[in-house]
Amino acid sequence: MNNLPVNLAHSRGRGRGTNRNEDLNRGPAPILGQPLGTTSESSGQQDDIRKANLCSEGAEGDARGSLRGRRILSDVVHSRPTGLVTKVGSTGRKITVQTNYFKVKKPPNWTIYQYRVDFVPDVDNTRLRRGLLSEHRQLLGGYIFDGTVLFCITQFKQIPNSPYVLELLTKNRGGENILIKIKHVGTVESADNQQFQVLNLILRRALEGLQLQLVSRNFFDPQAKIVLDRFRVELWPGYTTSIRQHESDILLCTEIAHKVMRTDSLYHVLSKVIRESDDYQAAFKREVIGVIVLTDYNNKTYRVDDVDFQASPMSTFNSKDGDISYVEYYKKRYNITIRDYKQPLLVSHPTQKNIRGGINQLIMLIPELARATGLTDEMRSNFQLMKAMGEHTRLMPNRRIDRLRVFNQRLQESQQSIEVLKSWNIELDKSLVEIPGRVLPSEKIVFGNQKRFLCDARADWTFEFRSNSMFTHIDIKRWYVITPRRSIRETQEFVKLCIRAASGMKMHISEPRYDEMPDDRSGNYSQAIDNAVARDPQIIMLVLKTNNEEKYSCIKKRTCVDRPVPSQVVTLRTIAPRPERASGLMSVATKVVIQMNAKLMGAPWMIELPLRGLMTVGFDVCHSSKNKNKSYGALVATMDMKSSTRYFSSVSEHMKGQELSDQMSLKMTCALKAYREHHGALPERILFYRDGVGDGQLYQVVNTEVKFLKNQLDQIYKSAGKEEGCRMAFIVVTKRINTRYFVNMRNPEPGTVIDDIITLPERYDFFLVSQAVHQGTVSPTSYNVIHDNMGLQADKLQMLSYKMTHIYYNWSGTCRVPAVCQYAHKLAFLVAESIHRSPSSGLENQLYFL
């Protein structure tokens, strides 16, 4: 929940959707009607399909075209602002860094030729077309074939007096002659994104030589699995790879990945929900729909889309040998005996690739034979499990580099991988790419009485609060503490610690009024909040016995919507004194006081900011936990941190597929209105950080959101007499990236920036490490500037972005993204998970969502 003090171990390196913890320490499988891999075609064609699958194992050709898994790259979006001279900065100490990239080498005139392939008579089935073509792979060399279009590096000469370059005769298993006619239709340009899609497919073909298994879109090594018997979980190590054009070279990015495989089958999940739930069918559907499962008998993965409780293993389907039950099919095909004849069947919809291959019917799976991949929320909340996994997944830089080198070495030594790359006349450099980087100057943290602390490599100033007061504070004279009667003693002791901690930071907190509830039912919290709000408190502290989503949601709906008042939620487990953590309670109290001060518009600390009249804005989106078609976009803006510590926040609701442009510009108009009311003028510059943008959404953001927002802001500025319009930089912030970089086989210091070599030529982008981590490898954040007319040089934008990572008041240290981005995520997450409606406008000037 979102009101306990931030703990470094919880706040660093967390993915999206984990913010509540900052506050509360809280083969074929049969198709419907027939087995997967067969169709209603003749038996001769079925044999040819099986032959096609066998041919795909050859080293040179790729008879299966795109392989399993989704495509690596979406279309390239050119987001680099026009007129940009250079995106390389100069400020900071120069260093050399190693990256997780390898150069892809190819001859100077390397060309991919594109051909159209026709079959006479026509062959409808894509698998069969691939199988027939693969018989001529010696002639074709390395190739990719999707059933119609053929890509290869061999240039064939035109047949005289014919539009075709090749005419190949072959036979199917039925003895029928098939003529394959190949026509040249063009070449793939070196700058064309299609070339990199082909290169990625070539790499995936080469990776098959390492005897890895494709799970979803990445390759993993089941032979090197790590078994955690105690938790019934396996960790499969593997690799995430992507080839694309970077500034001057084609580079392969390789990141070490791990896949969680549960040893329990979905039958165990079914058994559990039958024991524990009144409506086991609904509970089982909630548990398994959307889960990716692995079937060990054919080493394939499927997405569970539904559960058919009317069907069972005794149900029959039609095969080429007639009707057969699933029990008989698995015994005959895999020698597997199904134990429970009454279990329902899992339903998996065919993928686009299945459909292209002629399989368009539902795929039926047996729970007993399917085991889930990934983690459940319950598993994520299991501290012991996450700790055990972390020992294997949190690789220190030196170990990560060793694993990357081993990956490269395996590719260089695998005969099948060598032949694939050789057939395409490309090779992989053996060394990790080394590039120039810079370490930006350390920031000075400003406390009360203008005392300053030069932030060091720890990127943490928690201990400095012992000898410094907060930058600005709000004395708390009227406040309520709501607690169950049984917890009153522990609560009062903790409140005393808070008062003592505040006194050390020169902040006064008066004794609160206590409301002792007979028990901790949600209705009692609601009634207690109503009683407290009637007496106009500055803030309310509420004590929960345990981490409970229902009670937390009730409290936040009441205090953020119905009775708007800043609230601080804590759990008894966090505040109750225990022998093993007695010394840590003062630290918890200090963080709670800092958080309450921030919620009341105080500023625990500040940074030195050279620009006056600057508004920084963060925007993020979270999907509703109750309605998958609904999302909430949150905007948080500063009111010029050089002269004010105030913020503005707002939330908008939108449905799936609905553009955000209208809501974003409307909320931005409200933020500008708040700024003008506070300062009497519009901001001179706006620095807008947009989080929550995937690669597939970048085109929409660049070509719709930014243009619409800029036009709206220009109108506002021109109506205010500023004819030059709004001076704004719009930056897309991305945390989920695979890029890593190292300095002398160690983690780079906070402030290490990379803006060349591994950046992208079509973008104005840079990578920034703003945190320090004690375990594992630090993850940089990607910044993509897609609009900029602020008039600042590249390194000034980099330095401003780094400064903004220092003022997130839930943690006295730096965070991965600019603070306004993290605030926007906190707010969007709170609404999407707990409130499910827009908060009261009466709170929009306070950081009530911390």
Distance CA 403, CA 396 (A): 11
Q: Which residues of 417-432 are buried (b: 16+ CB within 10 A; e: fewer)?
A: bbbbbebbebebeeeb
Tokens representing 228? 């955690």
Helix/strand/coil (H/E/C) assignment for every residue in 809-842:
CCCCECCCCCHHHHHHHHHHHHHHHHHCCCCCHH
Candidates 620, 755, 765, 788; catalytic one: 620
Contact 714, 725 (CB under 8 A): yes
Query: Any idea what the Cα angle at residue 212 is, between residues 211 and 218, rounded to 5°?
Result: 155
Strand 292-295 with 300-303, pairing: antiparallel
Distance CA 418, CA 813 (A): 47
Burial class for 17, CB neighbours closer than 10 Å (0-12, 13-18, 19+)? middle
Query: Where do we find the tokens 């080198």?
Result: 405
Give residue 840's identity as a one-letter amino acid code: S
Tokens representing 107? 């001859």
Which of 433, 348, 545, 449 is closest to 98 using CA atoms? 433
The residues that bridge with 256 in the sheet, in sequence order, are 239
Candidates 23, 515, 520, 691; catalytic one: 691
Distance CA 739, CA 759 (A): 10
Distance CA 769, CA 750 (A): 5
Helix/strand/coil (H/E/C) assignment for every residue in 470-519:
CCECCCECCEEEEEEHHHHHHHHHHHHHHHHHHHHCCCCECCCEEEEECC
Which of 336, 412, 467, 359 is closest to 127 using CA atoms? 359
Which of 305, 330, 304 is closest to 316 using CA atoms? 330
Crossing angle of the two packed helices 415-423 and 193-207, in degrees rounded to 10: 160
Tokens representing 500? 């003592």
Query: Any idea what the Cα angle at residue 778 is, between residues 393 and 847, rounded to 5°?
Result: 110
Is 691 one of the catalytic residues? yes
Strand 61-62 with 741-742, pairing: unpaired
Distance CA 776, CA 82 (A): 39
Is 456 one of the catalytic residues? no
Tokens representing 120? 């006479």
**Among all residues, which ones are annotated catalytic?**
620, 691
